[in-house]
Every structure is written in C-alpha cells, then in structure tokens.
Copies of this chain bind each other. A is one copy, B any other.
Amino acid sequence: MEWQNELTRLLKISYPIVQAPMLGVTTPAMVAAISNAGGLGSLPVGGLSPDQTISLIRQTKSLTSKPFAVNLFANQIPPVNPAQMEPMSHFLEKFCAKYHIEYTQPNLDSITLYSYQEQIAILLEEKIPVVSFTFGILTDDIIQELKEKETVLIGTATSLPEATLLEQKGINIIAAQGMEAGGHRGTFLDNSPLPLIGSFSLTPLLAENCKNPILAAGGIYDGKTIKAAFTLGAQGVQIGSAFIASNESAATTSYKQAIQNASVTDSVLTKTFSGRWARGIRNTFITEVENSNLPVPDYPWQITLTSAIRAFAQKQDNKEFNALWAGQSASKAQSKPAGEIFTHLIKEMEALP
C-alpha cells in the first residue's frame, strides 16, 4: 500500500506514524527505535533544564540518524498562588506521613522553573528537524526563527478554534487530541468547560476545516484503528499508550501492569498530579487529593509539589502514588521492543482489506 502523503513528505519519514511524546515514559531509546523503524519518534523535554535538554537530544542522536521530533510545553508560567499552595502542601505532607512516603517540601523561593523559550536556542543549534508542542502556542518570534531554519512544526489542538489558531500562526501539522488520549490535555484556549471531543468527532471536524495535515491522537493502537483514523481524514496518527509497556519505556513495572490490566472505566481525568487536566488510571493519590476538596494549584506549581511523591513511587515501584497516564485503549499495550510494536502496526495495517 501507498504510505507516502503530504505528512510523510513534510516529516521525511517512511510511515505516517508518530510516537507520542510521554514525559517520564519516553526514553531516547524509544524515540530512536521508532525513528529507526521509519516512523517519527518524539523526545519530550517539556519543563526540563537546558542541560537536560541537550543531554537527551545527544543521547537520541547517538542512537539514530533518522529525523525525530523534540516536544515542548508551550505554556506560560502563572505567578505562584500561596493561598492554594500552602493548604495543598500541608495536605501532601500529611498524606506522605500517612503512607510513609519520604517527602521534602519544595522551597518555593529556590525552585527554578524552565520555560520552553530557554530551549529554543538548543533546538536550533542541534538542527532539530521537527518541533512539536502542547499546552499553548509558541511566540510569533520563535515560530519565525524555527521556520527560517526549515523546522517542521506540530501543534496540539483539542478543539476547532485551537486548530484554526495554530494554522493561522503557520504551524505545519495539527495533532488532533481526542478525549480518548492518555496524559495531559493540550487545551490552551477556553478550558471552561474543558473541550472533551471524541476522536470520532474531532478528527473529521479538523480534517474538514483545516488545510494542513491532521495527526489523529487518542484511541489508536492497531492496524484497524490507524486505518479508521485515515478514513476520518487524518494524514497520520500519533500513538502513545501502545508504547508504554515497551522494553524501551521508562514506566515502572507496576505502571506497565496497571495499564495492561485496567478496565477503561478505571480511567479518569484528573488535575491532582500536575495542576493540568490529564487522563490516567485512578489510584490512591488521585482519590485522596480529590477527597481533600482542596483547590489544586495551577500547572506547573502542583507538579512541583508532587514531584517528590512521584519520584518516591517510581523508586519503590508503587503504582498507588505514581501518575499512571494512559489512554482509553491503553490495555492493548504490549511488553515488546518498541520497534517490534511499530513494525507490527505496519504489518497489521497492510494486511487489512
């Protein structure tokens, strides 16, 4: 079958399949495995320091000579809100004492938060061919700077107004994030209420109303779901959860098992881990923070408060205190090398009538 289209030509890849950037799960080895197999790996560096960013990019480059994307969090950082931070921080201290979690309260005065703007010079220097982003839209200056270097830009939309704005700003490819998708919602315009549009409605809505190629995201895990996304008007698909249990994933064993064993009704949208809405599997942490009825500080402040808890949970391989991000079809994730999962997707798709 003919895989080449406008999207593959823009991205200079063999198959229009993008591995979704999953911070905390995606490793340079996963990115390289997908790019080496002919797809587009995506290296998530959202919120990381310039040093970490360079290091991850260089590690990835040491494993592949194929194009890969680097993914940014294009959010603004709101001022800290002590009226929300103090009660939440106090609650988390008690929560950690209850469950014997080592917890050092972060010192708000000494926290360094990194903006994506500090990562742009690195991306330009490293000649990253594809830059994807979520949680917002890059500034006009940065878009121009990246485009002058012929960087292909992928923005994330959860509604038609977001897709339209991305297109107006010159973004080349729109990732249409259906409500089935795992992890953080990319919503950056009106989020009251949060747009929760199913892939089955969002993909054709954006494909019919946008000129640029659409990358469908949310609920895609095998040949038939890829084919259905193309039928709905997508030129490519972005697949995340199906790679969470792969050998190259940084997910802990208990996280991998949790998504493979979860029923889709265990999946919730929650702000409790980060301050932004995200889809994952309910656990003790989510339920107890919800039951506290405390307002959750805005992203990225809540994530700074919970990072020690997640680090502890990962070290202990305890799924009850870790963020188990997963899409609505995440139970289909397989414990195999990422490249093998990818190649199997291609074979399944080619075997379809």
Residues of B within 8 A of A268 (CB): 193
Q: Is B198 within 8 A of A328, CB to CB?
A: yes
Interface 9-residue window, one of A4-12, A59-67, A129-137, A225-233: A225-233
Contact code string A204-224 (vs B, CB < 8 Å = 1, else 0): 110000000000001110101
Q: Is B204 within 8 A of A180, CB to CB?
A: no
A220 CA to B204 CA in the complex, in Å?
10
CB proximity of A232 to chain B, nearest CB, Å: 5
Residues of B within 8 A of A218 (CB): 198, 200
Q: Is the interface of A mostly helix, strand, loop or mixed?
A: loop
For chain A, the count of residues having a C-beta within 8 Å of the partner chain is 38
Most B CB contacts (10 A, CB to CB) among A161, A202, A227, A233 go to: A202
Closest-by-CB residue of B relative to A231 is B228
Scan residues 168-210 of chain A and give those whose CB is less than 8 A from a CB of chain B: 178-180, 190, 193, 195-202, 204-205
> Chain copies in the assembly?
2
Residues of B within 8 A of A261 (CB): none
| Contact status of A200 and B224, CB under 8 A, knowing A190-B265, A195-B265, A265-B159 | no
Q: Is A224 within 8 A of B219, CB to CB?
A: no
Scan residues 231-265 of chain A and give those whose CB is less than 8 A from a CB of chain B: 231-233, 263-265
CB proximity of A218 to chain B, nearest CB, Å: 7
**Does A329 touch B at the CB level, under 8 Å?**
yes
Q: Is B227 within 8 A of A198, CB to CB?
A: no
| Contact status of A180 and B160, CB under 8 A, knowing A190-B265, A224-B233, A225-B232 | no
CB proximity of A265 to chain B, nearest CB, Å: 5
Choose one: B180, B196, B233; the contact of A200 (CB below 8 Å).
Answer: B180
Choose one: B160, B200, B222, B265; the contact of A225 (CB below 8 Å).
Answer: B200
CB proximity of A51 to chain B, nearest CB, Å: 39
| Contact status of A225 and B198, CB under 8 A, knowing A159-B264, A193-B268 | no
CB proximity of A99 to chain B, nearest CB, Å: 24
Q: Is B329 within 8 A of A205, CB to CB?
A: yes
Choose one: B193, B202, B227, B329; the contact of A231 (CB below 8 Å).
Answer: B227
CB proximity of A234 to chain B, nearest CB, Å: 10
Residues of B within 8 A of A265 (CB): 159, 161, 190, 193, 195, 197
Would you give 7 A-B contacts (Cβ < 8 Å), ordered by A? A159-B264, A180-B200, A197-B328, A200-B218, A200-B219, A227-B231, A228-B231
4 nearest CB pairs, A to B: A198-B198, A200-B219, A201-B328, A199-B200
